[in-house]
A and B are shown apart, each in its own frame.
Chain A
Amino acid sequence: MTNTDVRLGSWEAVGLVASREVKTKMRSKAFIITTVATLVLLVGFALVMKLVGGGSDATVGVTTQTGALAEPVKATASRIGVSVDVKTVDEKAGRSQVADGSLDALVVSDGTDGKLRVVVKKDLDGNLRDALNVLAGQVALNVSIADLGGDPAQVQAAVAKASVDVEPLEKPYPYQSGQLVLGIVAGILIYMSLLLNGQMVAQGVVEEKSSRVVELLLSTIRPWQLMAGKVLGIGFVGLVQMVVIGGVGIVAALGLDVLSISTSAAVGTVVWLVVWYLLGFVMYSLVFAALGALVSRQEDVGGVITPALMFVIVGYVIGISVLPSDPDNTLAEVLSVIPVFAPTLMPMRLAMGGVPVWEAVVSVGLVLALIPALVWLSGRIYANAVMRSGARVKLKDALRPA
């Protein structure tokens, strides 16, 4: 009789289950395709940004008569946040370029009183109009100053220096467009990752249940070991995916110089992304595993996990629709500290910047505090439900041992 010692440590069992998940998932077509597709999209997005961006918001033509205005046009425009390219053309050519759209506006002189006339195709873009109006005001001012015997250049210099001192009661955070973009990308990544990998956990649980292999597995390891192994294995695969995608994305963005943010901010975003992915994944996948154990057929997975999935979706939708235009939004700020919404909202806010340290700490702390409770609850539901095949197990019954 073979009576060798066949002790298998708890974590050894968890490790075995996890490594099976990793091997199976990494080799699956779905994993390879989604990873490659996301990478292609991300790099493509960076390239498009490079091509589209970098240029100016508008191109304005000046004629030989208004040539002196080339620099002032640029300067006034940039003061109100519009970047403008200025080309010097002769008036006739300029008009035809406006007509064919290669110039957004052509500044011509009215001849008599030095008043400015702007030729446009149909309408003048609001920002550009503001810039040119300011310019027209200055031109008029210069004329008046010269009439009064003053030196317009001197006055302009004095005006340029004069500005109000702002005394903020609350220090506002200087959001940068680059970081806002980063926040949106971070939000999309974490949302997709939680959605796909979380569902994968539920499907994996049901696969074992519907193929009945779970009975064989549970004759040698405990339910919590099987559940933990699955969550950790799939979580690890998702992590690798996240690090690869995040890393390549950041390298592409910085390398192509399309994100005007510091490397440290970029790295910080990836680190936070990983932290929140891990927290969010563990939290949601425990719930998904428990819910998945309630049903016995793959067709029923969707229905049973939808209520939990809604939290992921709601958090993401609020984040993606509110934060880019209003990073200080109070609703998003409050929700981002609540554990069920934090994994989607907090990383977006963190990437955009300006999150007070206490909020970041509290949100992480709350999720960390919730996880042990979820481990207990999900473990109980899973253990009680996973052997009951057939009809969907009621949550109430799953909370009671068989």
Chain B
Amino acid sequence: MGDGRLEIDHISKRYGDVVALQNTTFDVRAGELFGFVGSNGAGKTTTMRITLGVLAADAGEVRWDGERITLDTRRHIGYMPEERGLYPKMKVGEQLVYLARMHGLSAQDAKRSMAEWTERLGVAHRQGDDVQNLSLGNQQRVQLAAALVHNPSILVLDEPFSGLDPIAVDVMSKVLLDKAAEGIPVVFSSHQLELVERLCHRVGIIRNGEMVTIGEVDELRSSGAAELVVVAPNAADGWASGLAGVTVREQEGSRTVLELGDGADDQAVLHAALATGPVTEFSRRRPSLTELYREVVTQETEEDAA
């Protein structure tokens, strides 16, 4: 109690015969940016909808600050649904004030907050326009403003980066980092894995309704097999094949990518490389999130095949 964590605890959900979520469990700590990744239909949106109470779970519960989330605590959540939604024929300013008031703000506070967020997100000059008359990019900004206008204590954003131009991606990233820095839990889903890798403290990979991997980005990357990149211009093909615990991944001209098995000695590899002549590059590389993600997806297909 009192740690401001958002906990998704053993949530299960079925749609008829289709299992959408199975004991999905993870938590988002206060002040943390949590990346939620998985292929389409893996269960990200369902998880978020259950968190927001828009959908009822078959089992499990969502807690915030140690207590089960209710309609009243839910008003502390800023939510950006995957299917963007605003009244097309309502003015931007009025709409944001309305949504802020729906989250319990007084009329005055709602107005002040609306002015602040439209300013910060660069849509202040469009306050008097109907949403439908805005460009798609500006509609996205207003959508984000709608998630933030009530000064939420939790942020749950479904694909916030999809469809944004590079400048808007920067604005969005900055806002998310700022909100996390304020000490609130922020969770968002995305298919842009480089972005997730760059922004998030921790990530969770969901597959077929089950969380398969959760952890800090660095920790996950180092848990993957270590790779060595060696550039030795004079080395002959197969120079590294005799080394213990080492597998050659790629060989392209003078550049060789090696995978180190458990207990393999990278210094032995360096010696072997130097024995062939000069070594112009020798670096240890850790797999990117994209590669880790592919690995998980590959496992999935292998399991399906088995």
Contact = CB atoms under 8 A, between A and B. Distances in A.
Contacts of A2: 151, 153
Interface stretch (A127-135, A214-222, A318-326): A214-222
B54 A219 contact: yes
Given A13-B102, A20-B98, A220-B102, A215 B182 contact: no
Interface in A4-29: 5-8, 13, 16, 20, 24
A402 interface: yes
A117 interface: no
Interface stretch (B81-89, B186-194, B198-206, B240-248): B81-89
Contact of A6 (B30, B56, B146, B150): B150
A221 B90 CA distance: 19
Size bracket, chain A contacts: 20 to 34
A8 B104 contact: yes
Nearest to A9: B104
Interface string A205-218: 00110011111111
A265 B5 CA distance: 67
A1 to B, nearest CB: 5
Which among B71, B79, B105, B151 has the highest number of chain A CB atoms within 10 Å? B71
Contacts of B88: 211
B58 to A, nearest CB: 10
A213 B85 contact: yes
A215 B83 contact: yes
A30 B187 CA distance: 43
Size bracket, chain B contacts: 35 or more
Interface string B55-98: 11000000000000001101111010101111111100000001
B221 interface: no
A213 B147 CA distance: 12
B81 A215 contact: yes
A219 B88 CA distance: 19
A387 interface: yes
B84 A6 contact: no
Contacts of A8: 72, 75, 102-104
Contacts of A7: 72, 104
A1 B182 contact: yes
Which among B4, B74, B102, B153 has the highest number of chain A CB atoms within 10 Å? B102
B79 A216 contact: yes
B158 to A, nearest CB: 10
A6 B105 contact: yes
Contacts of A389: 83
Nearest to A24: B90
A-B CB proximity, top 10 nearest: A212-B85, A6-B104, A213-B85, A219-B52, A212-B83, A8-B104, A215-B81, A6-B75, A220-B102, A219-B79
Interface of B: 4, 30, 49, 52-56, 71-72, 74-77, 79, 81, 83-90, 98-99, 101-105, 146, 150-151, 153, 182-184
